[in-house]
Chains A and B, each alone.
Chain A
Amino acid sequence: MTMQNLIVRTFILLIPFLAANLHVSAQSEATLSVSGEVITPLNLSVDDLKKLPQITCKTKDRDDKENEFGGVTLIELLQKAGVTTGKDLRGENLVKYVLITAADGYQVLYSLPEIDPEYTDQRVMLAIEKNGKPLPANEGPFRIIAPNDKRPARWIREVRSIKIAFVKE
């Protein structure tokens, strides 16, 4: 048996163990990342979010039924990460955007003034509960609720990441 052969065979023997390892890591807890133009990048679990001030919002979903969503305001989260909001949301910071990506790759975008209470009465929310229960799989654990959006296409489910970035134009 040549050396090369030996290496290949050893690797093949190792495959089930490598695969088993992957399977174990696949059980990891779902988290949400906040990154990009932030002072402090965040990686938060549902429990981390529960420690922030909670709000609720009654609104009709795609199915036309009224639901009560619970969670935190998106602005709360952005402030925690040190995004330019409030008095800092002026000048070039007005061409920053918030790109939100879901588990399935779906992406939606908000501008910062659409989220900032100094600009709007809408409270865009990062929901973790629906009618008092954790959001179901395929919807949660994190979902955006934007009550003023008549079409819920930006009520993005299964949020995995929130990235703040500058428009490059």
Chain B
Amino acid sequence: MIRPFINRINPFRKKWKRRSPHLWITGGLPVAFFFISVLLTAFEIRHPEPFVLDYPANFGSRFSIPADNPTTQEGVYLGRMLFYEPMLSADNSISCAGCHQQKLAFTDGKKFSDGIHGALTSRNAMSLANLLWVRQYFWDGRASSLEEQAAFPLTDPHEMGQSLEESVRKLQATDAYPPLFKQAFGSDRITGSMLVKALAQFQRTLISSNAPYDRYLAGRYVPNEQELRGMTLFERNPDPQQNIRGANCTHCHGGPKMYKELFHNNGLDIQTADAGRSDITAQSADHGRFRVPTLRNILLTAPYMHDGRFATIEEVLDHYSDHVQPSENLSSFIKGNSNQTGGTQLSLTISEKQDIIAFLGMLTDSVFINNPEFSNPHNAQ
């Protein structure tokens, strides 16, 4: 059986050798096509373009970007599509943007947020700004990366209530998403990991650095008198014996970013119902401690505190000035911080509170809340 086969080949090879040059060309064409198409395919699998993160030098570069999820233009665009994608909720009714609206510095103006089927979240929706510099996410600091963070609201039954597997299944069935995942991550077989990575990439681009306060630090904004008085109070430690009035907000909220990575008990209650950070650390000293949130865009992000108990910024100032409760874990930076000798409350005057609020207005970044790069990309299509 083998011999005849070889015999059949041999004549073929002889014939091949005897072919005319014009037959060479016609025979070579399919081969050439094959190579060209291989080259073209190789060209298609190009690497995503790095996304250049633009921020002022005084913010520093202590970023929290995992080595396996560099920020790329394709990843950021996909993340932005997903951020505004209601398909990621169990009943297709809400997206991340439902509770994180750009015009409100990515909050929703509500005490607690609406999840699917009328469920309410247990804590106030946090503003999303300058997350690139945060290392422990949520009010209790439970997640150590934005990738890890994303899975919570997506799957929590009081929020979007859908497993990552189901979200992946829905996205895979669309025409639009598989190619976007391929561009961002090199494969159109979507995974839950790619989903949270893309969301994290988009959120890292939400940089707020164009408030009047930023321009003031850069020497391009001159505060009015009230703003200046507020800034002085904000930054200064009260010392009644030296006749120095202050609020020392900056101890926990200061710096060019107006954010420090801290967790404190700010005396909201003598005994807090919400354990806060101690749920994560299992240390009783952390009971009732919560993240010290960013003050960026603070006038846009009412209501305030982890439970949204204060409807207005005036109520917040009243709390710190006059109503701090002597809770067991009260921050030592609040305890005994007073404008009166031996006082237990900060005790600011009404006009001092107004001055501080005027200064807080310098932290409103209208460029950030109107930046088209952060808006709903589905509307643009």
User: Which of A's residues lie within 8 Å of B, judged by CB?
Assistant: 8, 22-23, 25-28, 30, 103-106, 137-139, 157-158, 160
Which one of B157, B261, B283 has the highest number of Cβ atoms from chain A below 10 Å of its Cβ?
B283
Complex contacts, B235 vs chain A, CB 8 Å: none
Q: Say how far B10's CB is from chain A's closest CB, in angstroms.
A: 66
Of the A-B pairs whose beta carbons lie under 8 Å apart in the complex, a sample of 24, sorted by A's number, is A8-B157, A22-B279, A26-B275, A26-B278, A26-B284, A26-B286, A26-B287, A28-B282, A103-B263, A103-B281, A103-B283, A103-B286, A103-B289, A104-B264, A104-B331, A105-B136, A106-B262, A137-B329, A138-B329, A138-B330, A138-B331, A139-B332, A157-B332, A158-B285
User: How many residues does chain B have at the interface if contact means C-beta atoms less than 8 Å apart?
Assistant: 24
- The reply to whether the CB of B91 lies closer than 8 angstroms to some CB of chain A is no
Complex contacts, B335 vs chain A, CB 8 Å: 138
Cross-chain contact A104 with B329 (CB below 8 angstroms): no
Majority SS of interface residues in chain B? loop
Complex contacts, A104 vs chain B, CB 8 Å: 262-264, 289, 331
Cross-chain contact B283 with A26 (CB below 8 angstroms): yes
Complex contacts, A30 vs chain B, CB 8 Å: 283, 285
Chain A residue at smallest Cβ distance from B332: A138
Q: How far is the CA of A25 from the CA of B264 in the complex (A)?
A: 20
Q: How far is the CA of A106 from the CA of B287 in the complex (A)?
A: 17
Chain A residue at smallest Cβ distance from B278: A26
State whether A22 and B262 are in contact (beta carbons under 8 Å apart), knowing that A30-B283, A103-B283, A105-B141 are contacts in the complex: no
Complex contacts, B281 vs chain A, CB 8 Å: 103
Q: Say how far B133's CB is from chain A's closest CB, in angstroms.
A: 13
- The reply to whether the CB of B328 lies closer than 8 angstroms to some CB of chain A is yes
Q: How far is the CA of A135 from the CA of B278 in the complex (A)?
A: 20
Q: How far is the CA of A101 from the CA of B146 in the complex (A)?
A: 21
Complex contacts, B136 vs chain A, CB 8 Å: 105
Q: Say how far A55's CB is from chain B's closest CB, in angstroms.
A: 24
Q: How far is the CA of A29 from the CA of B204 in the complex (A)?
A: 37
